[in-house]
Every structure is written in structure tokens, then in C-alpha cells.
Structure 1
């Protein structure tokens, strides 16, 4: 098994004056582990995933798999992406068996019987009846389609799997079953996985490590239980505070902590603010607390490597109101 490494990866659209969707992201998905990538819509999570599999242009930096730039790998890369929408990720004209067989590729398994057996094995692996192989996507539910999409990704025998919001389009009643399946398959096959979601409870359930993304950058990363119980960046704390919970006290940010700014709209990604990108929304930043003008002029990403959780916050070690998410939370 090998590590997936994003080495100062940037993705830009429209030239220098266009949009920088991903800005100098450094992130490692260790071999055999699950990294949960969280952040609100528009933070660049899906763009980073698409860059890894060659669907988005890498403007600078490198995506490495086992130390090799993925752009130099053969067409059949040991890296697969499961898309968010199960209703658009499968060709409606192809049967389930045909879609999975296409992903196996020509010449990998000799003979139709061997390919049919492999399709049946993969369907059983994702807890679907092999008889579903003759059906088309339109005959399946959303949860069943997502299982087929997972089986199709596994047909390429990847070393690394990227799951991009794979439960967000599913009914709540189905999400838990799909998450259990993903975790079971990952452990059974020993896959490395980048699991992308905006749902912190989901990420906590499946992840060994957590990375938090805001406006194209990673602002905090570390072991899941540490990031979600001792967050160092105000944005992580705000995400936790906004997470739905039957026990709101688990996400209480403290009555004496300013929080009015946190509800502001995100900054324009075409024109990100100088200094700390989160300062326009930060409840403990210069718009709320005096003496924090440093956030207006200095980029906190420069010294992040020397702070707990590599937090891109000048005052990360001054946070005095820990926020927690239940270790037993699930979708």
C-alpha cells in the first residue's frame, strides 16, 4: 500500500485573475487509513478530489501516489473516485453488470465467465444480490445505486479510494447502512481513503484523521479524536457549533465567547481577504477583539506547521473554550 500526498497543490480556473479553487494544499492520506476532509460548500473539497484523479487541472504542486506524480501513472490508476450523486454517476443505458465489467477493463480477466464471477463477487462485497447485475440503474434505489458505484470503483482494484459526499444525496435512513458498508470494505481490503463530507458526525464515524478546509486551504488537520474534541482553529469550532445534535451542549462554544461574526457570508473566493482568510467571519478575530490586527496583515498559514494540528490561526493556542463532538456520533 502507498500514501496519497497532495504536495502544495493549487487548482486555478481562468488564469491569474480567475478563481483559485484550491490554494497550495498540503495533505497526506497515509497507507491504510481514512482521512476525513470537511468544510462548507465551496471550500474546494470536491475540486481537490477531482484534481487527484485528473478531472481538474493541477496548476501548481503535485499529487503523489507512492512518491510518483499521478500524471505519470498509466491510464488505469490505482486511485478511484466515488461521486456524490448516484443518479448521475452511472450510465442509465448500461446494466449494473456492464458498468462494473467496463471498470474491470479489457484483458484483466480472461473469459466472460471469469468477468461474471468477478461482478458477482463485487456485488456481494457491497451487500447487493448478484442477480442485480442484469438490472439498469433506473430500477434501483439511491442507496443501491451508490453501492453499485462503490462496486464499480472497487473493480479497478484501487489502493486509494476517494469518496466525495457519497451519503449526502441519500435518505437519512439509508446513510447509516452505506457508512457501515464503506467502513467495512475499507478495513477488509486495507484501502487508503479520502472521505469528503460536510457532516462532522459522519466524518468522525469513519475517519482516523481529519482535515478542515476553508476557502481553498487546509486550516487544521490531525487525529480525528483530537481535532473534534480540542479544535485549534475558530472555523473548526464554528463547524462543530453548527453541527446538529440532540445534545446541543456537546457543541456549546461558550456563552462568554463572541459569536456574532460567525454567521457572516464567506469571503469572495475570487478576491480572498488578506492576512487570515477567516478574519471576516471569525468570532475571536480582529473585528471582535482588540489587539488582533495581526490577522489582517499576516497569513497564519506560514507558521502553521509549528502549531498544534497545524492550525492556520495566529492565536490557536489562546483558544480557551474547547468544543467536543461525541465519539459515538453517527449518521
Structure 2
């Protein structure tokens, strides 16, 4: 078990006025043996943060550490990296010219097993671990279904003997009918192997199913963080509540309220801010249903950037007030 920690991590692409900060000062901990779900819209910076952890995106500021030791990606073989990533598209992450067995064997650290017989036996073991028959080792990626390819990608990640697994939208490219089986596999593997895992998704229902802790990301920053039951059961940040309202099993009364109020409807339909030029103050204020567009007296949202409110784990000036108002049945909240 290992703890993956992001301390003030910043990732910038490009230079000058054309540059963009995709991840802006993120602090996040993936505790040993736990699953942290990272959720947010497309473009929020989730995948960029994941890629930074495995050396595929440049870290311009801050540190990423594993058990207190800074991760280093230079001069090490890919299979020896302690943080392994499973990508969204299982087909593009596998070499179509290599058999499944060869792809998995390639990821086994050379010093871990010596001899072709031992490596073949390890491939069979890993395939069995992810629910694939040994005979699949001779197949090519194009001969497998999407769900089977994602199982191979999981086996390949486990072959590297990782201390942390990062799963980036691993069910979004799959048919709904097989998403559940892959999620069950991920949850079973995590519990069986006691893995630390950062599980990334835009789907709150998926994150709810596998995560112990949930972090919500918007425009490059974490805006809410806490135990899954707290974040999903009593969200503190308006963005988190809006994500929940947009989910398929959203509260009908809340959706009706938004649809019937033209101001709230306009805000709900608003596009995310330009990541090249994020708004001043709270980055969510142009879309916030309880911000200055609805409650003009909350003008500080326009200019003052909210910090993470540690008792409530939400980067919102009015997290405490909103919880109190909701408890009193305030119809705006």
C-alpha cells in the first residue's frame, strides 16, 4: 500500500498569452488502500492531473510524491513505474500488432521474473485475475470486445507491480451493458489486492459505486473534497449539487425548480468558462445558482477567490450558509 499525494500541482501548456493552465494548484491525497474518485466535466483538468502523475504531462509547479518521495519518471523503464495508468480507450492503449500475452508480458518488470516459462505463467495468472481465459493470450486486440480489451489493459497495468493505479474514464468508451461488469472487476481487484487507486470519471453514479473519497474538480481546481457519503449525500459546493442534479437519478423536485425558474435555467444552460481566461474570484460564479447573478449581495464571489473551507471541504464563500439554509428548507437551495 502507498499514499499518492499532489501538493500544489500546476500544469501549464503553451507560453505567454496563448498558454493555458490546465491544473492550477491542486492539493489531493490518495490514501493507502483507498479509492479516491475524481469527478468533473470534460475540460476540468482531471485527465491532465492523472497524466502528470505518470509523467505524461509536465508539472510546472508543485510536487507529486509517493510515500513522501517525489515521483521521478526519467531514466526508468515504463514497467518499473510505481504508478500505472489505465486509459479511457482500451484499443488505442494496446498495440494492435502484438498478441494479448505479449502486451501483458512486456509490462512485467524484467527483474521480477526471469525465463520465458515464468513470464508466460505470470501472464496466465494476470489474465485469470481479470477474468480472461488463458487462451486469450494468443489473440490480438482486434479480436476482443471492448470490455475484454479493458480487462487486458487492467492486467497490463497490474503486470507492472504498481503501488497505485490510476483509472481514467475506463468505462466511458464501453457499452452500458458491460460497464457494470468492468466496475465490479475494478472494485473486486482493489479490495483483493488492497490497491490505492485514483478513479476518474464524469459520471457520479460510477464514482459513487467504487469510491471511498470523492474530489470534485472544476476549471483546474478542486472545489470540494471529502468522504463519498458526505459529498454525495450533503454536497457543500454549488457545482457538486449541479452535477448531482444533472445525473440520471437526479431529484425530480430540484430539476422542476430549475426548469420553472428562467434565471436558474439560463445559468444551468451556461457553458463553462474559457479555461484560457478563467473568471476572477470564484471560477464558478458565472454559472452558480446561488451566486451573485441570483443573489446580488454576494458580490465578493466576483473578486475574492475562495479557499478550501476545511470544516466543510468546499471552496465556496457560502458553504456553511448554504448547509444551514438547506436544513431550514430554503427553496433557493
Q: Does structure 1 retain, via aligned residues, the 8 Å contact 2:309–2:316? A: no
In structure 2, relative to structure 1, the CA distance for the partners of 1:72 and 1:177 (3 Å cut) is closer
Q: How does 1:52-201 map to 2 (within 5 A)?
A: 52-71=53-72, 74-75=76-77, 76-201=80-205
Q: In structure 1, what is the equivalent of residue 5 of structure 2?
A: 5
Are the aligned partners of 1:103 and 1:152 in contact in 2 as well (CA < 8 Å)? yes
Aligned to 1:45: 46
Cα 1:185–1:253 change in 2 (3 A) is farther
**Distance (whole Å) between structure 2 residues aligned to residue 174 and residue 108 of structure 1:** 33
Moved over 3 A (4+): 72-75, 247-258
Instruction: Answer yes or no: is the 8 Å Cα contact 1:160–1:191 preserved in 2.
Output: yes
- How far off its partner does 1:71 sit? 1.9
What SS is found at the alignment partner of 2:320?
helix
Contact 2:55 2:73 in 1 (8 A): no
Distance 1:240 1:203, change over 3 A: same
Which of 263, 279, 288 is matched with 2:285 structurally? 279
The answer as to whether partners of 1:79 and 1:160 remain within 8 angstroms in 2 is yes
Deviation at 1:249, TM superposition (A): 3.3
**Shift of the alpha carbon at 1:318?**
1.7
3-state SS, counterpart of residue 228 of structure 1: helix
Q: Identify the match of residue 264 of structure 2 among 246, 259, 274.
A: 259
1:219 Cα deviation after fit: 0.2
Distance 2:131 2:49 in 1: 29
Name structure 2 gaps, 5 residues minimum.
Answer: 328-333
- TM-score, length of structure 1 as denominator length: 0.92
CA shift for structure 1 position 105: 3.0
On the 8 A contact 1:34/1:194 being kept in 2, the answer is: yes
Give the Cα separation in 2 of the matches to 1:109 and 1:250: 58
Q: Which residue does the alignment assign to 1:235?
A: 239
* Structure 1, unaligned runs of 5 or more: 323-331
* RMSD of aligned Cα (Å): 1.7
Q: Secondary structure at the match of 1:306?
A: coil
1:187 counterpart SS class: helix
Query: CA offsets, 1:203-258, max 9 Å, x none?
Result: 0000000000000000000000000010000000000000012x643865856986
CA separation in 1, counterparts of 2:73 and 2:255?
A: 47
Q: Does the 8 Å CA contact 1:210/1:223 hold for their aligned counterparts?
A: yes
Question: For the Cα contact (< 8 Å) 2:43–2:219, is it kept in 1?
Answer: yes
Distance in structure 2 (CA, Å) of the matches to 1:251 and 1:226: 19
Local SS of the residue matching 2:93: coil
Question: Which TM-score applies when normalising by structure 2?
Answer: 0.92
Matched, 1:14 2:14: yes
Identify the residue that residue 269 of structure 1 maps to in structure 2: 275
CA contact (8 A) 1:274 1:297 kept: yes
